[in-house]
Amino acid sequence: MKYTNYPPIPKQDLPDWELLSKISIIDNNEPLQPVSLSSKLKMYPAYYKLRVTYALPECFVRDSVLDRLHMAADLLPSDLSLVVLDGWRPFSVQQYLFDTLVNLLKKANPEMSLDKLLSKARTLVSPPSDNPSTPSPHLTGGAVDVTLCDTNGRFLDMGTSFDEASDYSWTFALEEAALDDASSLIQARNNRRVLFSIMQEAGFTNLASEWWHYDFGDQLWAERTGSKTACFGATSVCGIEQMWKDQINSIKN
C-alpha cells in the first residue's frame, strides 16, 4: 500500500449557493495562462479528448492559479505528477455539459421534479451562467479539475473516473467506503488524500461532490474560505480580433 502518511479527508457540505451568489467580485484582471507550457505540470484536456462540442485542446488558468498549481506539484512525492484536466471553460461547453446531464437524468428518472433534477445535476456540473455577478466557476479561470499520474503517465486510481456520475465521486466518499482493511478502495482513498492534501496546502478549496474539482479566487473559493470578495469574475481567452481592437484603441487614446 502506498501514500499512507496523508491525513483523512474531512467531510464537507455543499456550498451555500444563495450565500455564494451574494459574494461580490472585484476582478484583479489577471490573464489566463496556458498550462501546456509548464514544465512542472501534465495536461490532458479531458473534454477535448472526449470530443465535447466547443471544447479546447488547451487548459487555461489564471496567473496565480498556475502559481499555486506549481506549489501543489512541488509537494508531491517524486514518483507522482499533477495532471490538469480542465481549467477555464467556454460558456458553450458549460451549457452543453449541463443540458446533456439534465436530459440524461430526466430520462433515467422520469418522475423526478425539475427542481430535483437541477439540484442533482448541480452536484456534478454547475449551471451555465455568464451573469457578471454569478459566473460559472470554470468561466472565471479560477476553477481547475485535476488528478494524479505516475512516472509512466498512468492515471492513479481515484475510485471513479473524472466526471463520473456516482456517489463515490464525492471527495469524502472513500473515507467511509474503504473502512474495511480488505477493501479494494483503500489505495484509491490514499490517492485522493494525496491530491486533497497538496491542493489544500497550496491554497485551493475543494467542491465536496467532485474529488477532482478545486478552486482559487472565484466565488466558490470565497464561500469556502469566508472571504468577503472573490478576485476572479468571468473572463475569456483573447482572440486576434479583440487583441487588435484593444491595441488600436490604446493607440488612439
Q: Residues with catalytic annotation? A: 210
Q: Quickly tell me which residue has 481592437 as its cell.
A: 245
Which residues fall in the annotated binding site for Zn(2+)? 138, 145, 213
3-state per-residue secondary structure call for 32-66:
EEEHHHCCCCEECCHHHHCCCCCCCCCCEEEHHHH
Query: Is residue 169 a contact partner of residue 209, using CB atoms and an 8 Å limit?
Result: yes
Distances (CA, A) of 242 to 55, 117, 162, 247, 253: 20, 38, 34, 9, 16
Find residue 143's DSSP bridge partners.
215
Contact 211, 145 (CB under 8 A): no
Binding residues: 138, 145, 213
144 Cβ contact partners less than 8 Å away, ≥ 6 residues apart: 59, 61, 65, 69, 84, 86, 87, 204, 213, 214, 215, 216
Q: Which residues, including other chains, have CB under 8 Å from residue 40's CB and lie 6 or more apart?
A: 69, 70, 73, 74, 82
Measured distance CA(89)–CA(127) in Å, rounded: 13
Q: What is the DSSP letter of 24?
A: E
